[in-house]
Amino acid sequence: MTRHIARTWLGAGALLATGALTLTACGSGFDDSGSGEASGSGSLSVLIGSSGDAETQAVEEAVAAWSEESGVDAQVQVANDLPQQLSQGFAAGSPPDLFYLAPEALAGYAENGFIAPYGDDLANKDDFYPSLVENFTVDDSFFCAPKDFSTLALIINSDLWAAAGLTDADIPTTWDELASVAQRLTTDGQVGLAFGAEYQRLGVFMAQAGGGLLTDGAATADSAENVEALQYVKTNLENGSFAFAADIGAGWGGEAFGTQAAAMTIEGNWITGALTADYPDVNYLVAELPEGPGGKGTLQFTNCWGLAADSANQEDARALVEYLTGTDQQLAFSEAFGPMPSIQSAADAWTEANPDLSAFLAGADYAQFPPNLAGAADVITDFNAQIESLRSGDPQSILTGVQSNLEAIVP
């Protein structure tokens, strides 16, 4: 998040877009030599997926500030389908210099020689959380700097919660309690809980059931735990207390929540910026997701700043990455649109500035990372297409197909 990305991984995943990319413009920072050497001339092209206006504006302002300071021109473009547009850019030989890159896409691009492994060349390489470095390491090469990270939590509309006669004591800590409060919050014009029809949201239930797509490197998509998780979601979709965001007229869970078509949603830190910008009158609280039969579980997402191997501006691009991943800038991004800084030196300042968001940071202790194998992006895309029909579909059949697809890419 990921129409989102990143909201999922693009996080996602898969990010909602606020603009379109003109692919021919992406090559503006390249020469025809393919040498990969920094030229110090031309414009750096930066392609992002965005969770909304707050993120877009924050990145544009940061890149503009760096450009003014460095004297290097850099232009930000917002993708409406980041994975597709990156693939098209590489295929056409005109990718952007820098771009949001999800972990599940890294291995495939690395195998094809499209991505420059620059992580070990960064001055701040030792400041990144080790688990995030691992996410962007392929064949022992640290490819790209994690730009931030997020976990998923339960977002609750405080006013609708109180109107239903619920108190802090009713914040759900189990699946049964979540189902119960979702029922109480469901009315003719409002569903109790809404989220995106994608693994990047339903995966939390798989984790809470004790499952996951991979276990110790082996494909385990069709496990009994995962079937139980999808069946739990299906049951609540059928009774009307859960809903996919698209089925209630929303582009993502944050929109369903912001318009109050849903009283609760499952989203990441990025929702804070979107709510501030688009739904400032909605009062909410953030809670850890409830435990399932397998315990606590959530998903953790990150993107890195990918650098095209054929970029003619690699030195400038690395300098821009160091600026964008510095402590001050990451804290500014966090304030603008909600992600947690990917560097350890910013942790205390983030926690002090965001006491009401502590559930997100707590989730990092037990979060699963989605698969980052080569080919995982295609597996997830197919899985998401099947999830859209979960309400009328069969969880076991859906997961059997995912299992087959996963087994085909596991080394």
Q: Which residues of 84-119 are buried (b: 16+ CB within 10 A; e: fewer)?
A: ebbbebbeeebbbbbbbbbbbbbbbbbeeebbbbbb
3-state secondary structure 116-161: CCCHHHCCCHHHECHHHHHHCEECCEECCEEEEEEEEEEEEEHHHH
CB 115 within 8 A of CB 89: no
pLDDT in the model for residue 363: 87
- pLDDT band of 98, cuts 50, 70, 90: very high
At 306-365, the pLDDT tens digits run: 999 999 999 999 999 999 999 999 999 988 887 899 998 998 899 899 999 989 988 887
pLDDT in the model for residue 216: 86
**Coil, helix or strand for 210?**
coil
CATH superfamily, region 152-299+374-407: Periplasmic binding protein-like II (3.40.190.10)
- Percentage of the chain exceeding pLDDT 90: 73
Largest CA distance in the chain: 67
Residues near 187 by beta carbon (within 8 Å), at least 6 away in sequence? none
As a whole number of angstroms, the distance between CA 3 and CA 385 comes to 13
- Of 179, 197, 71, 149, the C-alpha closest to 344 is 149
- pLDDT band of 293, cuts 50, 70, 90: very high
As a whole number of angstroms, the distance between CA 96 and CA 85 comes to 10
CB 204 within 8 A of CB 175: no
As a whole number of angstroms, the distance between CA 407 and CA 159 comes to 46
What does CATH list as the number for 5-150+301-361? Answer: 3.40.190.10
Beta bridge partners of 265: 155, 194
* Pairing mode of beta strands 191-195, 262-268: parallel
Range with the lowest mean pLDDT among 16-25, 73-82, 135-144, 242-251?
16-25
Range with the lowest mean pLDDT among 73-77, 182-186, 271-275, 323-327?
271-275
As a whole number of angstroms, the distance between CA 370 and CA 79 comes to 22
CB 261 within 8 A of CB 189: yes
How much is the mean pLDDT over the chain?
A: 88
As a whole number of angstroms, the distance between CA 74 and CA 54 comes to 19
Q: Using CB atoms within 10 A of its CB, is residue 120 exposed (0-12), middle (13-18) or buried (19+)? A: exposed
DSSP single-letter state for residue 292: B
CB 257 within 8 A of CB 264: yes
C-alpha torsion angle, residues 89, 103, 364, 79 (rounded to 10) = 10
Read off the pTM: 0.76
Type of residue at 384:
N
Rounded to an integer, the average pLDDT of 3-13 is 34
CATH 3.40.190.10-classified regions of the chain: 5-150+301-361, 152-299+374-407
CA angle, residues 200, 272, 289, in degrees to nearest 5: 50
Which tokens go with 32?
Answer: 């025809």
- Of 11, 348, 296, the C-alpha closest to 148 is 11
Which tokens go with 323?
Answer: 């600026």
As a whole number of angstroms, the distance between CA 207 and CA 204 comes to 5
